[in-house]
């Protein structure tokens, strides 16, 4: 009942990319290092984000990847489903996955409702907001740490 590393890394990468102006170009190796993602693994994940139309990649010298659509039009759900396929809480919720009880199973209905709710939640925020919040909170957190350090130093004197 958990996100895989693939999804986690995709989210991290996208948050990172969305923290910069939309036309910035990034190298995969750079994203990998800055976000503690295994380089080779990220190279398998980025193409998925390209195929789903979130990113655009160009090979060769001066190549790299960049946002294909604005961060304000991207939701976490889109990212997760790009790399992990459609979210489903139970095998019986996958279309075409045969479940003989589908017609009458009362739990099936509950799964369906829950799944819908999850999708709603993961679509309720867009990447521009999340990325922005992230940098703000990051800065505030480290500023606070720095302040505390200085206070402790002062108290010692």
* Contact residues: DNA, CB under 7 A: 4-6, 26-29, 38-41, 43-44, 46-47, 50, 57-65
Q: Which of 27, 53, 70, 140 binds a second copy (CB under 8 A)?
A: 140
Min separation Cβ 17 and a second copy, Å: 14
Query: Shortest Cβ distance from residue 23 to a second copy (Å)?
Result: 23
Per CB under 8 A, does 125 bind a second copy?
yes
The one among 96, 104, 154, 157 contacting a second copy by CB under 8 A: 104
10 burial type by CB count under 10 A (0-12 exposed, 13-18 middle, 19+ buried): buried
Alpha-carbon distance of 45 to 82, in angstroms, equals 9
Q: From the CB of residue 77, how many other CB atoms can be counted at a distance below 10 Å? A: 18
Q: DSSP character for 52?
A: T
């Amino acid at each position: 009942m958990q996100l895989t590393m693939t999804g986690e890394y995709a989210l991290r990468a996208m948050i990172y990319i969305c923290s910069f102006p939309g036309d910035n170009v990034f190298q995969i190796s750079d994203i990998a290092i800055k976000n503690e993602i295994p380089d080779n693994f990220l190279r398998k994940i980025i193409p998925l984000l390209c195929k789903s139309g979130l990113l655009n990649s160009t090979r060769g010298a001066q190549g790299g990847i960049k946002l294909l659509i604005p961060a304000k039009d991207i939701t976490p759900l889109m990212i997760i489903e790009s790399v992990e396929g459609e979210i489903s809480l139970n095998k019986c919720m996958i279309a075409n996955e045969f479940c003989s009880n589908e017609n009458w199973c009362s739990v099936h209905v509950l799964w369906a409702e829950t799944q819908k709710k999850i999708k709603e939640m993961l679509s309720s925020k867009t990447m521009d907001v999340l990325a922005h919040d992230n940098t703000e909170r990051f800065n505030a957190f480290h500023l606070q740490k720095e302040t505390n350090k200085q206070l402790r130093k002062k108290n010692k004197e």
